[in-house]
Amino acid sequence: MSLLKTLKGQILVVSAACMVAALLVLTLVNYFSARAQARVALAEEGQATAKSHAEAIEEWTRAKAGIIAASIAAFEEPEPAKSLAMLRDAGKFSTAYFGYADKKYVFSEARNLPADYDPTARPWYKQAAQAGASVVTPPYISASDQKLVVTFATPVGAGSALKGVAAGDVYMESVVANVASIQPTPQSFAFLVSADGKIIAHKDQGLTLKPITELSKDLAIEPLLAAAKNKGLLPTDIAGRSRLLSVVPIAGTSWMLVVALDESEAMAPIRAMLATSLISSVLVLVVAVALLGVVLTRRLRQLTLVRDAMHEIGAGDGDLSRRIDAHGEDELAQIAGSFNSFAGKLSGVLAQIRDASSSVRVAAEEIATGNHDLSGRTELTASSLQQTSASMQQLTETVRHNADSARQANQLVAQASSVAQHGGQVVGNVVTTMDQINAASRKINDIIGVIDGIAFQTNILALNAAVEAARAGEQGRGFAVVAGEVRSLAQRSAEAAREIKTLINTSVEQVENGSRLVHDAGTTMTDIVTSVQRVTDIMAEITASTNEQSTSINEVGQAVAQLDQMTQQNAALVEESAAAAQSLKDQSVRLSEVVATFRLSTTDSAHVAPRLSPPGG
C-alpha cells in the first residue's frame, strides 16, 4: 500500500513537510541574516583595508608636495640648481626644476632641451598657475625609461604676482608596490584609478593608464564615485568572477583606491555555515520523523482494528446486521458506535427502498400501458390533422385562385367602365356637333330664303325694265335684251335657291333625326356607364371578400399546421414518456435486485419511519 494512501503516511508526510518548511525558513533566515552581517563586515573590512593603504598614499603625496613647497625658498637664488639637486636627492625625485614667468627654467641636473622650450606652456605649469596651490598632475609614462611618473607642482605667487612654478617628477614605484600588495584573500586585489577613469596602479602593469573598462566592461567612474561617497560595496564582475568593490578617495588628489574583494572567497564562511545548518536540519528531520512514526504506529493500532472490521463488512455478502464492539469512551469507541448507528439506519432505509421499489415497478407498468394507449391515439390524431392540413392547403389554393380571378375581373370591369365613360363623352361631343350642324342648316335655310326673295325682286325689276324698254322702242331694245337676261338669271337663281332650300330642308330633317338618335345613344351610353360602374363596385366588393376569405383560410391553415406540429411533438413526448416509464420499470427491478443482495436486520427496519423524508422536509 502506498504511504500517502494511509492516515499514518499522510500525517508523517504533512508533519515532515511542516518541519522541512520550518527548518528551511529558519536556515534561510539565519543564512540571509548572516550574509547581510557578513556584507556589512566585508564593507567595513574593505574600507579599513583601503583606508589604511590610502592613508599611506596620502602621506606619500603630502611629503612630496611638502618638499616641493619647501623649495620655493631657493626660487630666487642666483644659482638654484644646487638647491634643486639637494631637494631631488632628499625627496627621491627623478628630477626637480623651476619654471619662471619670463619663460626661463632651471633643472636639478643639466638638460639638453630645445632652444624654444617654454616652461609656461607645459601642463604642470598651467595646472599649478590655474589652481593657485600645490597640484599633482595626472600620471604618465616617462619616455626615457618607460616608468610611471607623476609631477608635483607649487606656484610661486599668484595671479598677476605669479613668479613661476616649482615642480618635481617622482616615480610611482612605491605607490604601485603598495597597491599591488593589497590582497585580503587569494583572489582579491586592489587598483588605483584617476578621476577620468584611467588605471594608475594595478598588479597587472599592462593595465597602467588603461581605462577601467579594460578591467571590466561593467565598470564606470560614476558608480565608483557613488560607492566612495556612501562607503558601501559595489558588486561587479571582473575576469569572470563576482567582486565586491570598496572605494576610498585619496585626499589631495583626484585618485581613488579600489579594493576588489572576491565574493566567493569572502562568503565562503557563510556558505559553510549554510551547509552545516542544512545537514543539522536533515538530521533533526530524520530523528523527528522516526519518533513520530513510532508514536503514530502505537496510537493508530486500534483504528486499524476498526478499519479491518469495516472492510470485512464491506467485502462480505452485504450483511448489515453485523455490529462492531464499541466499548470504551475514546474516539475509536465513538467511531465504532457511530458506525453501528449508521448501519442500523442504512438497514432501515434499504428496507423502505425495497418496499418502495416494488410500488414503483407496478406504477411504472401502469404508466407504460397508459402511455402506449395515449401514443396510439396521438398518432391517429396526428394522421387526421395531416389530412385536414392537406385539405386546407387545397382549399387555400382554390380560394387564392378565385381571388386572383376576381381581381382580374375587377381590373377588366374597371377598364370597361373607363372605356364606357370615354364613349359617353364621345357621344356627348357628337350630340353637340349635331346640334351645331342643325343650327347651321337653319341659318343656311334662312339665307336661301333671302336669296330667293332677292331673285323674286330682281325678276320684278327685270320685268319692269322690259316694260320700260318696250315703251322706249328701238332705243330701249338693248336694255330690253339685258333686262331679259337679268330676268332669266333671276328665274334660274330662284329655281336654284328653291332646289337648295329643298336639299337643306331634307338635310335639316335628316340632321334632326340623327340628333335625336345621337341623343338616344348618349342616354343609352350614360345608362351603360352607370351599369358598368355598379358592376365595378360589385366586383370590388367580391374581390375584397375573396381576399378576406383567402386570409382567413390561410390563418386557419397555419393554425391547423401548428396544431399538427404540436400533435407531432406530443406524440414524440408520449413516446419518450413511454420509454422513460419502461426505463423506470427496469430501474425499479434492478433496484429490487440490488436491495435483495443486502441482509437486513428486522429490528432496525422496524425502528425506521415508514416514509422517507427529503432533507429539510
What is the secondary structure of 474-504 as a DSSP string?
A: GGGHHHHHHHHHHHHHHHHHHHHHHHHHHHH
Closest CA to 417 of 524, 536, 523: 536
Q: Shortest CA distance to 482 belongs to which of 458, 465, 460, 464?
A: 465
Buried b (16+ CB within 10 A) or exposed e, 288-320: ebeebbeebeeebebeeebeebeeebeeeeeeb
Q: 610: which DSSP letter?
A: S
Amino acid 129: pLDDT: 92
Amino acid identity of 31? Y
Which band of pLDDT confidence, cut at 50, 70 and 90, is reported for residue 15? Answer: confident
All cell numbers assigned to 506: 331634307
Closest CA to 448 of 499, 511, 510, 512: 499
- Asked if 501 and 448 touch (Cβ cutoff 8 Å), the reply is yes
Q: Reduced to 3 states, what is the DSSP secondary structure of residue 107?
A: strand
Read off the amino acid at residue 526.
T
Q: Which three cell numbers stand for residue 133?
A: 596651490
Q: Are 32 and 119 in contact (CB under 8 A)?
A: no
What CATH architecture is 338-449+517-602? Orthogonal Bundle (1.10)
Query: CA-to-CA distance for 84 and 97, rounded, in angstroms?
Result: 7
Q: Whole-prediction pTM value? A: 0.43
Confidence of residue 149 (pLDDT cuts 50, 70, 90): very high
Question: Cα–Cα distances in Å, from 145 out to 111, 155, 561?
Answer: 16, 28, 119
Q: Comparing 76-85, 103-112, 263-272, which segment has the lowest mean pLDDT?
A: 263-272
The pLDDT score that the predictor gives to residue 302 is 60
Q: What is the pLDDT of residues 326-353, one digit of tens each?
A: 666 766 667 767 777 776 777 777 677 8
Strands 233-238 and 148-156: unpaired
Query: In whole angstroms, what is the distance from residue 228 CA to residue 311 CA?
Result: 77
Expressed in percent and rounded to 5, the helix, strand and coil fractions of the chain are: 70, 10, 20
- For the stretch 365-413, pLDDT in tens is 778 787 777 777 777 887 887 788 787 778 778 877 877 887 787 788 7
Q: Phi and psi of 232, rounded to 5°?
A: -105, -170
Q: What is the pLDDT of residue 615?
A: 39
Opening angle at CA 366, ends 365 and 367, nearest 5: 90
Q: How confident is the model at residue 607 (pLDDT cuts 50, 70, 90)?
A: very low
Note the pLDDT of residue 514: 78
Distance CA 201, CA 54 (A): 13
Q: Domain 16-271 adopts which CATH fold?
A: Beta-Lactamase (3.30.450)
Identify the helix (H) or strand (E) that includes residue 260. strand 256-262
223 close to 232: Cβ distance less than 8 angstroms: no
Ranges of each domain in the chain: 3-15+273-304, 16-271, 338-449+517-602
Query: In angstroms, what is the C-alpha Rg of the chain?
Result: 72
| C-alpha triplet 228, 231, 234: angle, nearest 5° | 75
Residue 1 has pLDDT above 60, yes or no: no
Find the helix or strand (DSSP H, E) in which 549 lies. helix 477-596
C-beta of residue 480 within 8 angstroms of C-beta of residue 466:
yes
- Mean pLDDT check: name the lowest of 37-46, 66-75, 282-291, 439-448: 37-46
Long-range contacts of 101-108 (CB under 8 A, 24+ apart): 101/162, 101/163, 101/164, 106/80, 106/81, 107/81, 108/81, 108/84
DSSP string computed for 148-197: EEEEEEEEES-GGG--EEEEEEEE-HHHHHHHHT--SSTT-EEEEE-TTS
- In three-state secondary structure terms, 97 is strand
Asked whether residue 249 carries a pLDDT value surpassing 90, the answer given is yes
Q: Do 319 and 597 touch, CB atoms closer than 8 A?
A: no
Q: H or E stretch including 553?
A: helix 477-596
